[in-house]
A and B are shown apart, each in its own frame.
Chain A
Amino acid sequence: MGTTTKKRRKAVVSQAECVACGCCVKVCPLAAIQVVKGIAAQVDREKCVGCGRCARECPATVITLEEAAV
């Protein structure tokens, strides 16, 4: 996988599996991920740069980095 594709990748949270612990929120350098209403984390795709820190931190490992459509 080339480094050029990295910029277009975005974090995606599996809504059904997220335990809403908020560990991801603490490590995002751009405040692009938030726990919404205590149910699950959601990513602001405008802000996310796909660095993958949240995915590494998530204790349940329910965040994947996916190729953005746009």
Chain B
Amino acid sequence: MKQKKWYDFMWIVSLTYLILGFFNILFAWLGLLCFFIPLLISIIGGSKAYCNRYCGRGQLFGVLGGRFGLSRKKDVPKWMKSKAFRYGFLIFFFIMFFQMLWNTYLVFAGAQDLRQVVTLLWTFKLPWQWAYHGTLFHAGAAQFAFGFYSVMLTSTVLGMITMVLFKPRSWCVYCPMGTMTQLICRARNGKL
């Protein structure tokens, strides 16, 4: 067995993030790191070192599906690894992300009240008011936190479903960040 490195324990960070957001939604802001770090690594470094080494979410699926055996370890269906689905999911994810930013903007602009809910799978509104204790900043900052946590929880739940049905890290096949960073790496090397 290979020697474990510090970055092999990033799954603990991912798990902690989800738990913290259960108690105080403002911790959701930390999730921005999972967006900017992989982007910067791919844009500046031209690699997928984030996916390959540091991604705690992928590791979490690896641990639960692998060590804990919560995976059927079957092949993902063909359509799931097709370019059409991967790019389509990336675009869908982007649209939902901008919709979330738009809702945040509306709260900042005073056109909409803060909604203390976490939206799972873009559909189900889960009550989450216990995790909100007011903010020193604008209510919009809290709206963003609720929205961002929704994105993170949704991707975790989707990833868990495909982890159970298929291989542990099936999420990595259609992860929007993974698809995007691979596209950036391709573009950087003129292989689009």
Overall SS of chain A's interface: loop
A59 and B51 contacting across the interface, CB-CB below 8 Å: no
B51 and A37 contacting across the interface, CB-CB below 8 Å: no
Smallest distance from the beta carbon of A63 to chain B beta carbons, Å?
A: 12
Q: How many A-B residue pairs have CB under 8 A?
A: 76
Q: With A and B bound together, what is the CA distance between A21 and B167 in angstroms? A: 13
A38 and B172 contacting across the interface, CB-CB below 8 Å: no
Q: With A and B bound together, what is the CA distance between A59 and B179 in angstroms? A: 14
Known: A19-B173, A19-B178. A38 touches B53 (CB 8 A): no
* CB<8 Å pairs between A and B, sample of 8: A19-B172, A22-B53, A23-B58, A37-B46, A37-B188, A38-B42, A38-B182, A60-B76
Interface, chain B (partner A; CB < 8 A):
2, 42, 46-49, 51-53, 58, 62, 75-76, 81, 86, 166-173, 178-179, 181-182, 184-186, 188-189, 191
